Amino acid sequence: EHCEDRKRSYQGNCANQCPRTCADLWEHVQCLQGTCHPGCRCPDGQLLQDNHCVPVTECRCGIPSNNRTLELNPKGQLVDDCNTCVCENGTLVCTELPCPVYDLWSPWSSC
């Protein structure tokens, strides 16, 4: 494997250490650390995505959905109930607002 084939990657002594790819940042992915092995690795601040090194700020986010993973572009938004999630640095960052609870209206209900 030639590291130059991946654009901007370099040969490292511990190339298999996490995180290696943008997908390693996804919440439902468990990146396992193993014994160090030499190989190609992206420079600091970059991870592998689509076989190229990209800045972490350009990493897509992964969302599990029906036995597959949907990908959300950087800065993309997703609405989940009454909260909004934004893809930042390969990770979904979500608001944690309580959802309102609506009861049936009656003449005695509070406004």
User: Which residue's entry shows tokens 């909260």?
Assistant: 83
**Is residue 105 one of the residues assigned to a domain?**
no
**Is residue 72 one of the residues assigned to a domain?**
yes
**Is residue 109 one of the residues assigned to a domain?**
no
31-56 pLDDT, tens per residue? 878 788 888 888 889 999 998 899 99
**Is residue 45 one of the residues assigned to a domain?**
yes
3-state secondary structure of 48: strand
- Joined tokens for residue 38: 């030499």
48-94 pLDDT, tens per residue? 999 889 999 999 999 888 888 899 999 999 998 889 999 999 999 99
Domain extent for 29? 3-94
Q: Write down the pTM of the prediction.
A: 0.76
What is the tally of structural domains in the chain?
1
pLDDT confidence bin for 27, thresholds 50/70/90 = confident
For range 18-35, the mean pLDDT? 85
Cβ neighbours around 50 below 10 Å, total: 8
| CA–CA dist 20, 18 (Å, integer) | 5
| CA–CA dist 110, 41 (Å, integer) | 61
**Is residue 62 one of the residues assigned to a domain?**
yes
Q: Which residues lie below 8 Å from residue 46, measured CB to CB, with a gap of 6+?
A: 8, 53, 54, 55, 56
